[in-house]
A and B are shown apart, each in its own frame.
Chain A
Amino acid sequence: MIYTQNLTKTYGDQTVLNIDSLEIPKGQIFGLVGNNGAGKTTFFSLLLDLIQPTTGKVINNEVQVDISEAWKPFTSAFIDETFLIGYLTPEEYFYFIGELRGQTKADVNELLGNFEDFFHGEILGQKKYLRDLSKGNQKRVGIVASFIGKPQVIILDEPFANLDPTTQIRLKEIIKNLGRDREVTVLVSSHDLIHVTEVCERIVVLNKGEIVKDIQTSKETLKELELFFGG
């Protein structure tokens, strides 16, 4: 589904990302871990054509992202709060995204119905603009919005951060369900090794911009990762 080749990003003389080649097959739940500054967000920003690669290219479903925009209809993401429109209510925001992705209001409502648990009664009908919601609630809105319009690729940067324990557990369920029918490719980054190992079938470890581990998740993975980061 996603294929990168010879991808690097340099600022001045500092290389923040240098990935020879990476292939993420369709339907995979892909986890990206690494310490701060490892290049996770840089990588995601490159996938979304928010920054330009210094060298190399990103191919998303046969579309080279910095040349054509044809990847946009089937790709969605939530990176940070700059993906939210502060002066809209959550409902308005969902409908806005829905309209951009060719969904009717009824489609969006149906989808939102599946996330009532996840929202925990704190999102819909609150008479609040997104800018006035707490960080955790903003995150819930952003994550759910990225599910609108049946995307084939979903990119979530640090989705577990700022969420309360109940919501974290629910989010894990949601992501696992997405992977079940092998239609949706999900890319998740996290600092929480337990969450990633639980959710992702494949984990790539970035360190200073380079891939240092590429693991198919198994029972030993968590130990392996803890050893890596602890040592």
Chain B
Amino acid sequence: MFKHFFNLQWKSFFRAASFKTNLAFKILMIFGALYFMVIFLFLGVGSYYIIEKEGLGNPLLVVNKYMIYYLVMDVYIRYMLQKMPILNIKPLLYLPFKKSQVVSYSLGKTIFSFFNWAHAFFFVPFSIVLIIEGYNPMGVIGWHLGIMALFYCNNFVNIMMNNKDNVFYPLVAFLAVLGVCQYYEWFDITLYTAPIFNIFYDIPWTSLISWGALFGLYVSAFNYFKKNMYLDGGLATKHDIARSEDYTWLNRFGNLGTFLKNDIKLIKRNKRSKTTVIMSFVFIFYGLLFFTGSVEAYNNPVWKIFAGIFVSGGFLFSFGQFVPSWDSSYYPLMMSQNIQYKEYLSSKWYLIIIATIISTILSAFYLYFGWDAYLAVIVGAIYNVGVNSYLVLWGGAYIKTPIDLTSNKKAFGDKQAFNVKTLLLTLPKLLLPILIYGIGHYLINPTAGYIFVALTGVLGFAFKNVVFNKIEKIYKKEKYKTLLAYKQKA
């Protein structure tokens, strides 16, 4: 029986549409994975000595102290990225498999997920170092096994929590608040959680408790899925209650208004686009890394412009780079309707501009770090409006990745987002303003740097019509390729 499952899994992996397409991206991903493994490995071996050298105390206790955050981060990352095992079950339902076999296979499969064994790269070397350094071997083994079981518990917690945003986000928010409390020393949750992890070392057999918990979670996940393995149960697709909306106030913009209305609905009603908006909100705080001086490498003045561009341009980058892919699921409709590319593009452009302005207003809190910081944001915004807004639309013509609006898969980067053309287009998006600023800053003074960048933006803005005509031509040229690419659903 398992032979069949295995065979299916194997084929689904190697025959996936995404597998064949981009070898370069595969290699990039492998490098990414290797990178994390090496980092984990390095941390596993090195953290003991680092902690000791910094005089933070007993390394094991220090690790245990922050373990709670590590575990929560792990759940968070899993929730965002780890795929649910239950997805491809439908076609198996009416075949002569026992339900329990299907479920146990699906759950069992997750045990081999990267998200589980990646942690071993940290914990195995760390444990070995502990033993070498003279910790009680029995204790270390108990601790190691206990903690690993907890990470496997996360695996099943995540599975059961799947798609329950109303449980997940409050939980994460709660722990974020606790983290802030700890930072300001108001309340320290680790005082209560660390002893739990310490006990695994002090009394090794207690790690059986976490294995017990793991077993319990496995059984309840198993029962949960088995009970819900019906088309109208756990396998049902959720239906939202729809409400027609008019946005009549947009009518005054004519055809442009028609598209804007549609784009607003697109953003409001789809999971993927909502994630993008949240991401672009997070970008606003990216500047904190620069202006607080918390990252030393960023102290060079030219980085401020870099920060300014990101702070105001979060939406521009995360939404804009996927125009026209947002409309990929109905692109044939758009292409056979009475639509001028210009209006279509203008609508997206206005959306980007409005979002840039809102981001700029929201980031007024950078005034706290002085006028200079906020000025960098404003100048960045001008450059975004005047230059980058075109560049993302231009680059979008070459990114032919269909977007599945209803799922969050691939929201964090996509293979086809990396191609030579788009990569080349990022240069003027980020490096050019830095360069322009650098010229002004070093040849004259910082103010001149800001003025130069802002002027470039204003200049770009003045040439809007010319640039739009160019972009329109590119979109027309790419039309058939784009239609074909969107047909091949990922």
Give the shortest distance, in Å, between A23 (CB) and chain B (any CB).
22
Q: When the two chains form their complex, are residues A127 and B242 in contact, meaning their CB atoms are under 8 A apart?
A: yes
Chain B residues 437-490 with CB under 8 Å of chain A are 480, 483-484, 486-487
A75–B337 Cα gap in the complex (Å)? 8
Give the shortest distance, in Å, between B473 (CB) and chain A (any CB).
13
Contact with B along A44-75 (1 / 0, CB 8 A): 00001111100000000000000000001101
* Residue of B whose beta carbon sits closest to that of A131: B406
List chain A residues, Cβ under 8 A from B329.
82, 85-86
Chain A residues 83-111 with CB under 8 Å of chain B are 83-89, 91-92, 96-97, 99-102
List chain B residues, Cβ under 8 A from A100.
255, 258, 337-339
List chain A residues, Cβ under 8 A from B483.
50-51
A73–B340 Cα gap in the complex (Å)? 11
Q: When the two chains form their complex, are residues A82 and B258 in contact, meaning their CB atoms are under 8 A apart?
A: no
A115–B240 Cα gap in the complex (Å)? 26
Give the shortest distance, in Å, between B156 (CB) and chain A (any CB).
30
Q: When the two chains form their complex, are residues B265 and A87 in contact, meaning their CB atoms are under 8 A apart?
A: yes
Residue A77 is within 8 A (CB to CB) of chain B in the complex: yes
Residue B330 is within 8 A (CB to CB) of chain A in the complex: yes
A48–B333 Cα gap in the complex (Å)? 10
* Residue of A whose beta carbon sits closest to that of B254: A99
Give the shortest distance, in Å, between B172 (CB) and chain A (any CB).
27
Q: When the two chains form their complex, are residues B258 and A129 in contact, meaning their CB atoms are under 8 A apart?
A: no
Chain B interface, >50% SS class: helix
Residue A204 is within 8 A (CB to CB) of chain B in the complex: no
A83–B327 Cα gap in the complex (Å)? 11
List chain A residues, Cβ under 8 A from B258.
96, 99-100
Residue from B245, B269, B338, B484 having most chain A Cβ neighbours under 10 A: B338
Give the shortest distance, in Å, between A101 (CB) and chain B (any CB).
6
Q: When the two chains form their complex, are residues A49 and B335 in contact, meaning their CB atoms are under 8 A apart?
A: yes
Residue A132 is within 8 A (CB to CB) of chain B in the complex: yes
Q: When the two chains form their complex, are residues B239 and A87 in contact, meaning their CB atoms are under 8 A apart?
A: no
With A96-B258, A100-B255 as contacts: A87 and B405 at CB distance below 8 Å:
yes
A102–B373 Cα gap in the complex (Å)? 48
Chain A interface, >50% SS class: loop
Q: When the two chains form their complex, are residues B330 and A86 in contact, meaning their CB atoms are under 8 A apart?
A: yes
A49–B335 Cα gap in the complex (Å)? 8
Q: How many residues of B contact A (CB 8 A)?
A: 33
A48–B269 Cα gap in the complex (Å)? 29
Residue from A50, A52, A73, A127 having most chain B Cβ neighbours under 10 A: A50
Residue A128 is within 8 A (CB to CB) of chain B in the complex: yes
Residue B336 is within 8 A (CB to CB) of chain A in the complex: yes
Q: When the two chains form their complex, are residues B338 and A85 in contact, meaning their CB atoms are under 8 A apart?
A: no
Q: Choose one: A52, A77, A84, A101; the contact of B330 (CB below 8 Å).
A: A84
List chain B residues, Cβ under 8 A from A52.
480
Q: When the two chains form their complex, are residues B336 and A49 in contact, meaning their CB atoms are under 8 A apart?
A: yes
Give the shortest distance, in Å, between B148 (CB) and chain A (any CB).
41
With A92-B245, A99-B255 as contacts: A87 and B266 at CB distance below 8 Å:
yes
A50–B262 Cα gap in the complex (Å)? 22
Q: When the two chains form their complex, are residues B242 and A72 in contact, meaning their CB atoms are under 8 A apart?
A: no
With A83-B330, A86-B330, A87-B269 as contacts: A48 and B336 at CB distance below 8 Å:
yes
Question: Which residues of B approach A to under 8 Å, CB–CB?
Answer: 237, 239-245, 255, 258, 261-262, 265-266, 269-270, 329-333, 335-339, 405-406, 480, 483-484, 486-487
Extra inter-chain contacts (15) besides given A82-B329, A86-B405, A100-B255, CB under 8 Å = A48-B335, A50-B336, A50-B483, A51-B484, A72-B339, A82-B333, A83-B332, A83-B336, A86-B329, A86-B406, A87-B270, A96-B262, A102-B338, A129-B239, A132-B239
Q: Which 6 A-B pairs have the closest CB atoms?
A: A87-B269, A83-B333, A99-B258, A132-B239, A48-B336, A72-B338
Question: Which residues of A approach B to under 8 Å, CB–CB?
Answer: 48-52, 72-73, 75-77, 79-80, 82-89, 91-92, 96-97, 99-102, 126-129, 131-132, 149
